[in-house]
C-alpha cells in the first residue's frame, strides 16, 4: 500500500514532510489574505469571519484536516531529524556545519516555536482566553466583532510584539522549508540552487511582512 511505503522509508517520510509542508504553506497564504480584510475595515473583516462560520461543513473539514496535517508534519519531521542525528553519531565536520545556514540548523526549534505560537494564537482568537474582554465584542449587526477584537489586542504593545516575533520564527522556518521542499520534489538542481534560495528568502520576507503589517499598522494607529 502506498501509505505504508511512504511512512516506511526515509525518502517516503521526506516526501510526506514536503507534502504536508506545502499544504501548511497553502493555509498560511490563505489565512494571511483573509486577515488583510483588516485593512478594508470592520464590515469586510466581520462579514468574512461570519461567512466562514456560516459554512460549518467545509469549515470543520478544513479545521480537522489542518490539525491532522500539522500533527503529521511535526511527528514525521522530528522522526527524520532523530534518524539523521542517529545516523551521524560523530556529527558533521566543522566546515560542513559552517556551511549550513542558521535557518536550516534550527528547523526543529523554529518548528516547535511555531507550534507554541499556534496554541497561544488559538487560545487568543479562537477560544478568547488571552483577552476575554476583546473576544466578547459584537458589532451593531450582532456578529462577533473580529475586527474590534484584533484592534483591541494589538493596541497592547506586548501582544503586538509577540506576534511580530512569532512571525520572524515562522519566516526563519520558511526560508529553509521552501528550499528543502523544492529539493524533495526534484525541482532544484546545482544550477538553479541560487535562484531557489532567493525565491525562498523572498517568500519568507513576504509572509513576515504580510502578517506583521497587521499588528504594526494597529500599534502605529494606521488601522483603528
Ligand atoms: C498577524 C498575524 C495573525 C493574525 C492577525 C491572525 C488572526 C486570526 C484571527 C482573527 C482568527 C480568528 C478568526 C475568527 O474567529 O473568525 C485566527 C484564527 C486562526 N489562525 Fe490566525 N492570525 C495570524 C497569524 C496566524 C499564523 C501565522 C497561523 C499559522 C501558523 C495562524 C493560524 C490560525 C488558526 C489555525 C486559526 C483557527 C482557525 C479556525 O478557528 O478555524 N494564524 N487568526
Q: Which domains does the chain have, with CATH numbers?
A: 2-91+100-219 (1.20.1300.10)
What integer pLDDT is reported at residue 8 of this predicted model? 85
Choose one of 55, 118, 126 to mutate for the ligand 1 pocket test, by most ligand atoms within 8 angstroms of C-beta: 126
Those residues whose C-beta lies under 8 Å from the C-beta of residue 66, and which sit 6 or more positions away, are 24, 27
Instruction: Out of 28, 29, 30, 31, give the residue to mutate to test ligand 1, the one with the largest number of ligand atoms within 8 Å of its CB.
Output: 31
Ligand 1 centroid to residue 179 C-alpha, Å: 25
Atom of ligand 1 nearest to the CA of 215: 1
Contacts of 3 (CB under 8 A, 6+ apart): none
* Distance (Å, whole) CA 162 – CA 2: 41
Looking at residue 15, its pLDDT comes to 96
Query: Quick count: other Cβ atoms within 10 Å of Cβ 12?
Result: 16
Among 105, 83, 84, smallest CA distance to 96 is for: 105
Query: How many whole angstroms separate alpha carbon 137 and alpha carbon 126?
Result: 13
Residue bearing cell 482566553: 129
**Quick check: 18 and 184 in contact, CB under 8 A?**
yes
pLDDT at 33: 98
Distance in angstroms (rounded) separating the CA atoms of residues 73 and 40: 34
What is the pLDDT, as a whole number, of residue 7? 84
Q: Which three cell numbers stand for residue 165?
A: 516575533
In angstroms, rounded to a whole number, what is the distance separating the alpha carbons of residues 221 and 99? Answer: 43
Question: For every one of its 224 residues, what pLDDT tens digit does the chain have, with 9 covering 90 and above?
Answer: 777 888 888 999 999 999 999 999 999 999 999 999 999 999 999 999 999 999 999 999 999 999 999 999 999 999 998 888 776 555 555 444 455 788 788 999 999 999 999 999 999 999 999 999 999 999 999 999 999 999 999 999 999 999 999 999 999 999 999 999 999 999 988 899 999 999 999 999 999 999 999 999 999 999 99
CA-nearest residue, atom 2 of ligand 1: 211
Provide the sign of the torsion angle of the four alpha carbons 60, 4, 187, 114, taken in this order.
positive
Residue 112 cell numbers, joined: 516547535
- What does the DSSP 8-state code read for residue 140? T
* Distance of alpha carbon 145 from alpha carbon 136, whole angstroms: 8
Closest of 162, 176, 173, 177 to residue 219, by C-alpha: 162
Contact status, residue 117 vs residue 167, Cβ threshold 8 Å: no
pLDDT the model gives residue 172: 97
Query: What confidence score (pLDDT) does residue 89 get?
Result: 54
Assigned C-alpha cell, 172: 526563519
Amino acid at each position: 500500500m502506498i501509505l505504508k511505503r511512504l511512512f516506511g522509508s526515509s525518502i517516503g517520510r521526506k516526501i510526506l514532510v514536503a507534502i504536508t509542508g506545502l499544504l501548511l504553506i497553502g493555509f498560511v497564504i490563505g489565512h494571511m489574505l483573509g486577515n488583510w480584510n483588516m485593512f478594508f475595515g470592520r464590515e469586510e473583516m466581520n462579514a468574512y469571519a461570519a461567512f466562514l462560520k456560516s459554512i460549518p461543513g467545509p469549515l470543520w473539514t478544513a479545521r480537522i484536516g489542518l490539525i491532522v496535517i500539522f500533527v503529521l508534519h511535526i511527528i514525521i519531521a522530528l522522526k527524520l531529524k532523530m534518524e539523521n542525528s542517529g545516523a551521524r553519531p560523530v556529527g558533521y565536520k566543522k566546515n560542513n556545519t559552517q556551511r549550513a545556514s542558521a535557518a536550516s540548523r534550527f528547523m526543529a526549534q523554529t518548528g516547535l516555536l511555531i507550534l507554541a505560537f499556534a496554541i497561544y494564537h488559538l487560545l487568543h482568537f479562537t477560544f478568547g482566553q488571552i483577552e476575554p474582554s476583546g473576544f466578547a465584542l459584537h458589532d451593531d449587526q450582532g456578529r462577533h466583532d473580529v475586527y474590534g477584537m484584533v484592534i483591541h489586542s494589538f493596541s497592547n504593545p506586548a501582544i503586538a510584539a509577540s506576534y511580530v516575533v512569532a512571525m520572524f520564527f515562522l519566516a526563519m522556518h520558511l526560508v529553509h522549508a521552501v528550499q528543502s521542499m523544492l529539493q524533495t520534489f526534484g525541482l532544484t538542481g546545482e544550477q538553479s540552487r541560487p535562484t531557489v534560495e532567493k525565491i525562498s528568502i523572498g517568500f519568507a520576507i513576504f509572509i513576515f511582512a504580510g502578517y506583521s503589517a497587521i499588528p504594526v499598522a494597529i500599534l502605529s494607529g494606521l488601522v483603528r
